[in-house]
Structure 1
């Protein structure tokens, strides 16, 4: 019999729409915060501090939260997380309304959002395999990732144009509304009931079980390591992209928005193509895409044109979609449902630890050595790691069970 379409699965549609709206609101919020901090300080170090205040609390909570994600309702963790984020963004909105915005307002919001993220992200990744069939996971991840990236494509353009013409205040109000709507959409997920026998386990026993399973799965560990290198590069760009466009290329906030849109639109196209790729070697497909993504940083290091920079970002997004969707799907297919939250929390901790290091490098060395040398360094690092992954026989296990 013909398998029912994902588009008839109400729980998947609720998860899909909730994620899309969430990413749109989050992208608007991030855009606003970056501009406010840079306007108040003019420093890449201050931008780096903003992101460190997001990541450090997040990493601490990420270490402990895994077992609770498998005990509590993943659906309600996602819903409440969205509504809490909406409430927190009211802080800078009110400060702007009364004309008394200060950098600490943004820093406080970043800390709280950093504490919310470890609840939402692993719960989101863990719930999808419970509401769609295993052989539909790659397609489901592609649907979610592609439309999420389209929203991330639209958000920087809309935010850049809005801020350029009207200001940050209206954009922040939109962020609050979008996050509330996202939580409401997630209410329609029909979540499978958890097994009561698993809920009664002690936290330490749960944590040890997830930790042990994670490090016994060689493919999950090493795919996390490869992704950690990517996240290191992302951490650097978090604090250097705005100065790169407005400083190195003498662009406007609107052009910054178009540049920020390049990667997600490329990612969306890559996500659409990924389920259709039929390859002899999964390892070469994934790591070849990672190599291309790394090379785009090298191109940006020597680029002098905003238009060419946007195209380069789109190519990088296309390549990273191929790598990331395969990566996430492989992990979802290998982790039992009762361990999803614990294992994904440990995996996300490994990945996310690398991003603050990138933020530190971008914030500390951006002013010291310049942005272009940093882009060259990131590009060479990611490309060399990907090339070694394709070349060395040790990594042949990536093709296992293909």
Structure 2
């Protein structure tokens, strides 16, 4: 820890993680809040998150292979600065009372395109500036910071809105993202890797071929799509759930919104102190089934605190599932294919997020909001229970997992 604290590059990145993380969570809160109160419709919120998630996925898929070919410091500054500019015009439109749903959708698309550039750039920068023996500690600190900001951000934003006006949240966003951009200017530039690399299309096709040869990972990818379809619908539905069903306030929305991050923080801590298990499949499916059941319980909850408990359990289970799923990929996928395979996995898994936000946003007009959470939970539990008996998901868990060709 002392070594990391003396590393100026790490300290600048750490500060940027705090400001960028708060900026992300504040933006998620305020865009949803403003969109909902502008039209009073869950459909509007669903459309908002559809545009945001879709543009984020497009950005990750297209830009991912090229991150290492561009100055990572400049990418991080660009991501923070563009978001600050977007929220400046957001605040200006709100101040002039000229804000419309189409303007909010446009802002969401721009933020969705630039926000995903920060995390892979910072992770890559850290890998090049921190000694290998200190990487685990550095990444643990950064991930803990990330989950902490996700937990505290909605709470702070909800508190500010309940005490003042949403305009002050936007002003806070502009300030912290602007300061983050200035902070990143002090990072030293790294040498670019100018070696020849394959084009995006070729790398993507090679990633697809891996899934064709390994039905286990193909089935897992399809399952992740189904899970993320429900997960993608959770975020936009929380706002009408708190205001319409629980009759809560802006602070209560912030509290419920932070529950997933709080659970993921607990899950990450649990995984840090626990020993690695060879029964990854059992742990993964058990955790996500419990998480789905917790999501369904939101549909029968009648108060803020029980809802917070259920969504915290959901976040905890999601964290355990995600960490073990990543371990599975890291152990079973050859090193020379990981980047391409992870790109395809991102497409298979994340494609369900905007679709879930869009579909559920329209469905909620026909059924009660609490029933939506009952259905979302079952949409996770049922496929996972079926998948437990699929032959393509049976493999020797006690066998050495370093050989990707052995199922």
Q: Same fold (TM over 0.5)?
A: yes
Q: In the alignment, what sits opposite 1:401?
A: 401
Q: In the alignment, what sits opposite 2:233?
A: 236
Q: Which runs of 5+ in 2 are unaligned?
A: 403-407
TM-score by length of 2: 0.84
Distance 1:280 1:6, change over 3 A: farther
Distance 1:241 1:165, change over 3 A: same
Offset of residue 299 of structure 1: 0.8
Verify: 1:173 aligned to 2:168, yes or no.
Answer: no
TM-score by length of 1: 0.85
Offset of residue 226 of structure 1: 4.1
Offset of residue 361 of structure 1: 2.2
In 2, are the aligned partners of 1:263 and 1:314 still within 8 Å (CA)?
yes
Offset of residue 386 of structure 1: 3.2
Q: In the alignment, what sits opposite 1:152?
A: 150
Distance in 2 between the 1:13 and 1:329 partners?
27
User: Which of 366, 369, 390 matches 2:367?
Assistant: 369
In 1, are the aligned partners of 2:280 and 2:328 still within 8 Å (CA)?
no
In 2, are the aligned partners of 1:293 and 1:320 still within 8 Å (CA)?
yes
State how 1:102-113 maps to structure 2 within 5 Å.
102-113=100-111
In 1, are the aligned partners of 2:204 and 2:344 still within 8 Å (CA)?
no
Distance in 2 between the 1:281 and 1:134 partners?
28
Distance in 2 between the 1:187 and 1:218 partners?
46
Q: In the alignment, what sits opposite 2:380?
A: 382
Verify: 1:272 aligned to 2:260, yes or no.
Answer: no
Distance in 2 between the 1:335 and 1:139 partners?
24
SS in 2 for 1:198: coil
Distance 1:181 1:252, change over 3 A: same
Q: In the alignment, what sits opposite 2:260?
A: 263
Per mean C-alpha deviation after superposition, the further-off stretch among 286-295 and 7-16 is 7-16
Verify: 1:248 aligned to 2:245, yes or no.
Answer: yes
User: What do you get for the CA RMSD once the two structures are aligned?
Assistant: 3.3
Distance 1:136 1:362, change over 3 A: farther
Distance in 2 between the 1:395 and 1:82 partners?
41
Distance in 1 between the 2:213 and 2:126 partners?
23
1:49-70 superposed Cα distances (whole Å, 9 cap, x missing partner)? 2122223344444443333224
State how 1:10-159 maps to structure 2 within 5 Å.
11-124=9-122, 141-159=139-157
Per mean C-alpha deviation after superposition, the further-off stretch among 327-336 and 295-304 is 327-336
Offset of residue 246 of structure 1: 1.0
Distance 1:287 1:144, change over 3 A: farther
Q: In the alignment, what sits opposite 1:346?
A: 344
Distance in 2 between the 1:219 and 1:141 partners?
29
Per mean C-alpha deviation after superposition, the further-off stretch among 295-304 and 283-292 is 283-292
Distance in 1 between the 2:216 and 2:133 partners?
19
Distance in 2 between the 1:318 and 1:50 partners?
26
How many residues in Structure 1 have an aligned counterpart in Structure 2?
Answer: 399
Q: In the alignment, what sits opposite 2:285?
A: 287
Offset of residue 242 of structure 1: 0.9
SS in 2 for 1:197: coil
In 1, are the aligned partners of 2:42 and 2:240 still within 8 Å (CA)?
yes
Distance 1:393 1:302, change over 3 A: same
SS in 2 for 1:89: helix
1:325-369 superposed Cα distances (whole Å, 9 cap, x missing partner)? 233355456677876665444332222210122112221111111
Distance in 1 between the 2:7 and 2:318 partners?
27
Distance in 2 between the 1:173 and 1:225 partners?
41
1:16-55 superposed Cα distances (whole Å, 9 cap, x missing partner)? 4433321211111111111111111010111112122223
In 2, are the aligned partners of 1:234 and 1:358 still within 8 Å (CA)?
yes
Q: Which runs of 5+ in 1 are unaligned?
A: none
